[in-house]
A and B are shown apart, each in its own frame.
Chain A
Amino acid sequence: MATTAAAPPYIATHEPSRTGIWSWLTTVDHKRIGVLYLVTALSFFLIGGLEAEIIRAQLMHPNGTVVSADTFNQLFTMHGTTMIFLAIMPLSAAFFNFLVPLQIGARDVAFPRLNAFSYWVFLFGGIFINTSWLLGAAPDGGWFGYAPLTTMQFNPGLNIDFWVLGIQILGVSSLAAAFNFITTIINMRAPGMHLMRMPMFTWMAFIVQFLLILAFPVITIALVFLQFDRFFGTQFYELAAGADPLLWQHLFWIFGHPEVYILILPAFGLVSEVLPTFSGKPLFGYPVMVYSGMLIAFLGFGVWAHHMFAVGMGPIADSVFGVTTLLIGIPTGVKIFNWIFTMWGGNVRYTVACKFAIALVALFTIGGISGVMHASPPADLQQTDSYFIVAHFHYVLFGGSMMGIFAGIYYYFPKMTGRFLSEKIGNWHFWLTFIGMNLTFFPMHFSGLAGMPRRIYRYDAGQGFDVYNLISSYGAYLLGFATLLFVWNLIRSRKHGGVAGHNPWNAPSLEWSIPSPPPDYNFAQIPTVTSRYPLWDHKGNVREFHEGDAVKTARELGIPMPFPTIKPLFVALFLTLMFSGLLFIHKNNWPMAYTFMFGGAAGMVISLYSWLLSPLE
């Protein structure tokens, strides 16, 4: 792995294969790992979406009978868990992987094999959690898993075990990736790529990595306590032993609130790439955008208890957390105005990517406003745990994160594949998504204010909920249809999309200076950067690719490339097996438990040593 500007003094001895399943299993190329993340996360997104469709079918009419109470509880738990941990986070990770090295002018991430490891752990963790469906024991404690409902006393099945272990496995993936990207961004920027010259997406990615490394240990500990309670008889959440159920809530939300920013900031970053390009103007107020991102992240650690206004913390705590939560509105509002003024005075080209980005600005505003409404604790008492909250966070996560991610996919698909996504299907996808999203989630504001609690699997007619639920369900079906169009667009355009050049949108940042799709070494020559928008300013030493030029191989250029290796996959697999062993404790099958746990641990240590002691390139 070379990040030097000068060509290394020796010649690569190998050329990693770019095709075949084995090449995907062993790849350590950040771009291919990014694609793996994208495809896997979109698959989980479809599963989570299917769960949502069933939920909406059940709630479409009063006293629905599509699914049983238990199934419904599993569905909403898994919908939340899937969308947060298996869809939006890894979709963001797909962009971290694909983009960050390209945007900072690097040939790879700092630890390519650790990167592969992160992906495989994510994949196996996702499969692990979803295996529970096959056993009819999907997690059913809510994505927030409040103790004591999740303790053995009240939930003796395997359901919660899958959830506790699955989230811990996914945590390993997120943490490993975060260490990798922090190091990459700190240490592998091209010459002249000062922090304040980094593209906004990389900035947001950078901030998110810090949120990850600081937030995930906290949920890990909360989960360890729950796991120990369930498997080894500790008493962290044991009511009879005097335990405080709020311990879980505090630990969970100290993680859970930064998690919200982990979900939204990458989308903010993507939109901050898309809007300037299609406006033909630099991002308005770049430094303020950076500082507001930092401020949001920093304040994000000080507001967790606004999820707990109904637990009776007392007037002082309620006031403090209410006011700090209001404060977060300021940097968020600044971002909205900066995006609008990025377009102001520009020549805005309404491509599908641009439309999705604009949709984020429009819809996130709604989620932000309702967010301010429940920052006020007395008002929140009437809102919390009602459908009003469901409306709020879907405006933030669907109207915000997903719209940003869709914008990113339409924008970067040409870079990833060399072909455009169909703008025609894309327009249908966009408008149906936009309508479907508002149809689904806007009425939820009303059903919430009309008194409908969250997480109920049925309700009586005549309670003032009927019409809103009916509209929501139709909206959800429309969203489902739009999503199928999107999948069709991806599949079709992968082979038949129009051929895109290296910089089809006339974008300003480094990733657009190289061929589409980029060669495995990214940059034939590491660029030297002297401005924020090198391809617009034509400053610095950035060699822009000429369409039609031959793309040389790494070997021809003498760039050493990391060896492909299967070892990270093995470490991830053994890690997952080790965790799976704990499930057998629950069934009192100790031989199987020991076999899996010690077998997994031994396999993991052996493959880890073998990985660490084998050469990278």
Chain B
Amino acid sequence: MANPAAALEHHGHTPTTTGLDHRKVAIWAFIGSECMLFASLISTYLIYKGRSVKGPFPHEVCSPPVCDTVMKPILNIPVTSASTFVLLVSSLAMVLALAAVENADQPKHTLGEKILGSSRLWLFMTALLGTTFLGFQAFEFTSFVHEGLTIRTNLFGSSFFTLTGFHGAHVTAGVLWLLTLLAIDIRRGLKPKDALIVDIAALYWHFVDVVWIAIFTLVYLIH
């Protein structure tokens, strides 16, 4: 079978017990499993909160003798709020991308309809916003390292970088996934019958987004 997407879509036509596609059921099981993964990471971060024997600390000033010099609280709430906003908007773009694929067959007349109905645009936007979020994270990590916090510095550094790094890795995987869909879309155009594969990617993307809301609240906002 020369057409790769045809292989992907084949499953969708098989009647199943629940009427749902296998991949949809599997992605929900996967997301359930991922919840435990992030729950373990977040719990560890919270358990180790306040246990670091030296700075920098997330929300508190570290002064001598605990630290050699006075170290400011390291978390940059305004910047991270911005990146959180970017990730939230990316979920909106994802919704539009899925809607565009589902309605790919509808005729589009106005410019607005054409823009809203362009799955390529919204897939691209989602990936772009995801990449922007990763850019923010790269900036955050770099500035932390400059301020003296690495993954080896203290318990806070270890648990913070591992938690947010795991999340970043999930976003990266999501961006690659979106770009793969975009490539398929550009090659042959995604049709309503392809909605499922976009739907599954969207579920994953929204999940990663929701996890970030939890991280942002528990790590950044709550002192």
Contacts and interface: CB of A to CB of B under 8 A. Distances in A.
B25 A182 contact: yes
A4 interface: yes
Contact of B25 (A183, A189, A242): A183
Contact of B36 (A111, A217, A235, A236): A217
Contacts of B67: none
A209 B51 CA distance: 36
Given A111-B22, A187-B20, A214-B33, A612 B8 contact: yes
Interface in A1-52: 1-4
B52 A234 contact: no
Interface size class of B (residues with CB under 8 A): 35 or more
Given A179-B30, A221-B40, A224-B162, A244 B151 contact: no
B194 to A, nearest CB: 14
Contacts of B151: 228, 232-234
Contact of B53 (A242, A247, A617): A242
Nearest to A240: B53
Query: Which of the listed residues A213, A241, A616, A617 has the most CB atoms from chain B within 10 Å of its own CB?
Result: A241
B158 A217 contact: no
B155 interface: yes
B155 A217 contact: no
A594 interface: no
B180 to A, nearest CB: 8
Interface string B97-108: 000000000000
Contacts of A422: none
Contacts of B7: 613-616
A394 to B, nearest CB: 29
B18 A3 contact: no
B44 interface: yes
A614 B10 CA distance: 11
Contact of B37 (A182, A217, A228, A240): A217
Given A110-B26, A236-B155, A247-B47, A221 B41 contact: yes
Interface string A205-230: 00001000111111011101100100
Given A1-B14, A193-B17, 18 more contacts: A1-B11, A110-B26, A182-B26, A187-B17, A189-B17, A213-B30, A215-B36, A218-B37, A225-B162, A233-B151, A235-B155, A236-B162, A240-B53, A241-B154, A242-B155, A612-B8, A614-B7, A615-B7
30 contacts: A1-B11, A2-B14, A110-B22, A111-B22, A180-B26, A182-B29, A187-B17, A187-B22, A188-B17, A213-B30, A213-B33, A214-B33, A217-B33, A217-B37, A220-B37, A221-B37, A225-B44, A234-B152, A234-B157, A234-B158, A234-B162, A236-B155, A236-B159, A241-B52, A242-B52, A242-B53, A243-B155, A247-B48, A613-B4, A614-B1
